[in-house]
Structure 1
Amino acid sequence: MSRQIVLDGSLQRLVNFDDPPPVAEGLWALVVGRVVDEETDRPITGNLIVSTAAVGVTPRVGGDGGFALAGRPWLIFPPLAAASYLLTATVTADGYLPADVAITVPIAQRHLTAPAPAPGSAVITLDSVAQLSAGQLLAIGPVAGAERARIRHLGPGAMQVTLDGGLFLPHALGDPVVADAWTPVDIGILTLRRDVTVLRGRTMRRDPITNTDSPVAGALISVTDFWTSLADVRAGLPGRMTTPNPALRMFAATLTPGVTTRRSVGPGQVASRTLAPTAPPDDRRLVSATVRGQTSFRISDRSSIAPAALLRLNPERSEATETVTVTTVTGYAPADGPGDISTALPLYGSHAAGTRVVPVTESAVQPAAALRRDVRAGDRVLFVDDLTNLPDGADVAISDGVTPQEYQGLRRLEATSDAGGYFALPPIHRVAALSIVTTAPLLTPVLLTVRPDYTVREHLIDVVFA
């Protein structure tokens, strides 16, 4: 607070003016970023929504895919309480999978060094005076005995600051000091992934004499190459399955039900497992319905279930079944009564009350394949360096040595036409274009290059043999 003489007509008044509010308590962009389509690298300008549960933080979305999380920094992140804070948000858009973002927001703390300042002292010594300037406000810890003071000037020593008015409270060596300033955290480009589509169609044979088509049963439809970006397609670059560069070569497969946890290239790997129901078969059921994201559920019979056991939910429905690892089991007597199960990872899907729950055992571990692209929650397609030990229809375990491993069903990107010639490839996303070869006995193979239409749930293609 400063005093000034103000002329009011013929009167002189001594006025105490309030100090200006701290810069870091004003409204700022806390975090900024830009959202683009993973395949096209173009900004997402449709119904882009950014949400967060953080109190005092307001999402703002621009028209070019840009977004910000806005708020008053020092009121949301008390500057003396921690050196950094974690801010989480979810980014969604029509036709895309949601992306959860965790942002570390650093606080530019510096610290008091010897000699320790005494109450009344106007000079403090810091471990850094970088980017400090005269007139700037400082928040000086500790939290329980915090005070604020303005810089009169830098010095007299090399790492010293002279304060306007001096200190009122005692402070110890190592106490944090934060300057009144703010720089938004720029997370750069955030890619969103298209939701899956299914390539579905029919294999036919054209009779040139009668000019009629007849279905071809037993035709094999296989993905023989793919491109992960539209730029690669336009540049005429080799596909990822056939590129001569081994470091870029990768193979894709579909997962069921879908990934629940982020995994990174490097530590991330995938290995085939044999998961077999325990004998004799039992008839355990979910007591109540579950929803996506739950990490616990109630089961009708908890007998013989212990931590680290594997349970398969909904085994009759291949598109909905999922396998979870048990972390805790609780319940009251008798031993075969209902119990509450906690799981290592969240459920991918929702399951109705009465859904079957089957204990399974794990065996026959195969050599692992390495991830070639990061995966995150919601992904349905896996990219690895080798599919040799990942057969079609296998159960696989995805691990990274840090997060508990998760189990998925794996489907290779191939299909066989039925008696009517109809076929459907496993769900696909995260690819910009596919090279598909269709073969049938005694017929010339048909090669197609398809750019999946992710705006529809089913992309229809027909294969006609000459």
Structure 2
Amino acid sequence: MVRIVHTNLRAYGFSPDDAGPDIEKTWALLSARAVDEVTGEPPRTQLAIETDEVEMFPRVADGGLIGLAGIPARAFPDLNAPGYDVTFTVRAAGYIPLTQTATIALNLGVIGAFAPTDIGALPLRRAPVVIKGRTVVAGGGPNVPAVGATVQVTGIWPTLPSAAAVVPAAAPNILYLRPGLYFNRDLVNDRVRRRELQRVLGEDKRLLAAVEAGTDTIELSDRVNVVVGSVLAIGAQDPERTEFVTVSAVGGATTADQPARITLAHPLARAHLRDELVIRVVPQAPGADNQLVRETIAGDRCVVLDGLADLAGVGAIEIAGGAALVEYHAIRLYTATSNADGYYRLPPINRAAQLELQADDGVHPNITQIIVPNYAAGEHIVDFVFRAP
């Protein structure tokens, strides 16, 4: 029952009834603080949080604060459960989307009670930046291109070092993956190792229909020698867009040379167009194991390892050992050779606050530069000018 009380020309609604239980009030069900993994500070771009949960509503505040709000009695119908697993995605311009699953705890000891769950800091990865530029030789006249010079990353600082101390760079044990990771990987059990993927000649196939990113079925022109466990290179006409995915089911006409529907072991990371080339590849003997040393999430294009054993000159790797499915990727190391005009371009890189770069033209003394990548620009120009000693 609500009474209306008039005072000082104002009307107030007043209910003498006891307050309702906590579970029937609006709460911050889940809260967190998004931070830049390099700086530890909140992103300077607009934040957003998304979830498919019907009775949970996104909330964003200053200082990187994000969360999901709602009425517990509606959001969690089964109040006897010890907790609810909620999957959400955090997005910010210039950062890789972060999808997490968190458990919102319920207070079973007190009937009708509720308290929010705070999961603390959520580090966001910057979108990779491309380091590129030109190598030239300075002489008595105009600069001339330093053709065939090697430019490579020789040191990495994951966070900015203190100006009051000398902090040595970490070894550049980092790989660039094409495409990014399909799954969150396990630091303890997962291993990265060389696994070249040999093309099977004479069995080229074509996509019969375009597919969107996130699709796990494709239509192929035929299923000749495609069986459960086969590995397909999808989009093989373009090495920058090729995906290597294992087959989990095969369906289609009674004869193998007719169109077929192929189910993949995991969804594709990229969209692919009709008529793109699909080939069967055979994994070759594995190389030495390398362990992940920094947390990885689905979508990461750069992985940091404890070493680069057996990875020099390698075209593809396998990541396996943990609970997630085996995945295959083309890779590049962070080294480049300048072309006839002296221009070079390193693979996109992130997860670094500071980089040490070195250029070597085989003639002049090596040049070393330390840079702070300009992630906001997407490209960072670094030129090297060789001079005679």
**TM-score between the two structures when normalised by the length of structure 1:** 0.77
Establish whether residue 308 from structure 1 lines up as the match of residue 238 from structure 2.
Answer: no
Task: Give the match for residue 141 of structure 1.
Answer: none
Deviations along 1:304-357, whole A, 9 cap, x unmatched?
211111000122212111100111111233332222212222211111111111
Q: Which runs of 5+ in 1 are unaligned?
A: 2-16, 111-131, 133-178, 242-249
2:356 pairs with 435, 448, 455, which one? 435
Report the AA paired with residue 183 of structure 2: T
Structure-2 separation of matches of 1:235 and 1:311? 50
Report the AA paired with residue 379 of structure 1: D
Report the AA paired with residue 221 of structure 1: V
Deviations along 1:153-187, whole A, 9 cap, x unmatched?
xxxxxxxxxxxxxxxxxxxxxxxxxx211111111
Task: State the SS of the aligned residue for 1:230.
Answer: coil
Task: Give the match for residue 187 of structure 1.
Answer: 119
Give the superposed CA RMSD: 1.9
Establish whether residue 450 from structure 1 lines up as the match of residue 380 from structure 2.
Answer: no
Structure-2 separation of matches of 1:388 and 1:322? 24
Task: Give the match for residue 73 of structure 1.
Answer: 72
Task: Give the match for residue 219 of structure 1.
Answer: 149
1:205 pairs with 109, 119, 137, which one? 137
Report the AA paired with residue 112 of structure 2: D
Instruction: Give the Å deviation of 1:251.
Output: 1.1
1:332 pairs with 211, 236, 253, which one? 253
Task: Give the match for residue 411 of structure 1.
Answer: 332
Identical pairs, percent: 35
1:230 pairs with 127, 139, 160, which one? 160
Any residues of structure 2 matched to 1:57-72 within 5 Å, and which? 57-72=56-71
Report the AA paired with residue 201 of structure 1: G
Does the Cα contact within 8 Å between 1:40 and 1:231 map onto a contact in 2? no
Please identify, of 288-297 and 353-362, the stretch whose mean Cα deviation from structure 2 is larger.
288-297
Report the AA paired with residue 189 of structure 1: A
Does the Cα contact within 8 Å between 1:202 and 1:462 map onto a contact in 2? yes
Alignment CA distance shift 1:233-1:315 (3 Å) = farther
Does the Cα contact within 8 Å between 1:45 and 1:63 map onto a contact in 2? no
Structure-2 separation of matches of 1:234 and 1:191? 25
Establish whether residue 360 from structure 1 lines up as the match of residue 277 from structure 2.
Answer: no
Alignment CA distance shift 1:388-1:438 (3 Å) = same
Report the AA paired with residue 160 of structure 2: L
Instruction: Give the Å deviation of 1:46.
Output: 2.0
Structure-2 separation of matches of 1:302 and 1:462? 50
Instruction: Give the Å deviation of 1:455.
Output: 1.0
Structure-2 separation of matches of 1:443 and 1:40? 36
Does the Cα contact within 8 Å between 1:233 and 1:433 map onto a contact in 2? no
Any residues of structure 2 matched to 1:255-274 within 5 Å, and which? 255-274=177-196
Establish whether residue 346 from structure 1 lines up as the match of residue 267 from structure 2.
Answer: yes
Alignment CA distance shift 1:339-1:235 (3 Å) = farther
Any residues of structure 2 matched to 1:18-37 within 5 Å, and which? 20-37=19-36
Establish whether residue 252 from structure 1 lines up as the match of residue 252 from structure 2.
Answer: no
Task: Give the match for residue 96 of structure 1.
Answer: 95
Structure-2 separation of matches of 1:393 and 1:198? 21
Structure-2 separation of matches of 1:35 and 1:183? 21
2:205 pairs with 280, 284, 289, which one? 284
Please identify, of 55-64 and 296-305, the stretch whose mean Cα deviation from structure 2 is larger.
296-305
Does the Cα contact within 8 Å between 2:146 and 2:342 map onto a contact in 1? yes
Task: State the SS of the aligned residue for 2:63.
Answer: coil
Please identify, of 365-374 and 77-86, the stretch whose mean Cα deviation from structure 2 is larger.
77-86
Task: State the SS of the aligned residue for 1:345.
Answer: coil
**TM-score between the two structures when normalised by the length of structure 2:** 0.92
Structure-1 separation of matches of 2:39 and 2:308? 27
Task: State the SS of the aligned residue for 1:54.
Answer: coil
Deviations along 1:415-465, whole A, 9 cap, x unmatched?
011111110011111111111111112211101111111112221111100
Instruction: Give the Å deviation of 1:202.
Output: 0.6
Instruction: Give the Å deviation of 1:363.
Output: 1.6
Structure-2 separation of matches of 1:309 and 1:422? 40
Task: Give the match for residue 47 of structure 1.
Answer: 46
Task: Give the match for residue 242 of structure 2.
Answer: 321
Structure-1 separation of matches of 2:203 and 2:385? 48
Does the Cα contact within 8 Å between 1:26 and 1:73 map onto a contact in 2? yes
Task: Give the match for residue 247 of structure 1.
Answer: none
Task: Give the match for residue 399 of structure 1.
Answer: 320
Does the Cα contact within 8 Å between 2:107 and 2:115 map onto a contact in 1? no
Q: Which has the larger radius of gyration?
A: 1
Instruction: Give the Å deviation of 1:19.
Output: 6.3
Deviations along 1:94-140, whole A, 9 cap, x unmatched?
11110001111223336xxxxxxxxxxxxxxxxxxxxx5xxxxxxxx
Task: Give the match for residue 9 of structure 2.
Answer: none
Does the Cα contact within 8 Å between 1:227 and 1:233 map onto a contact in 2? no
Structure-1 separation of matches of 2:41 and 2:165? 16
Alignment CA distance shift 1:80-1:60 (3 Å) = closer
Structure-2 separation of matches of 1:257 and 1:35? 25
Does the Cα contact within 8 Å between 1:252 and 1:412 map onto a contact in 2? yes
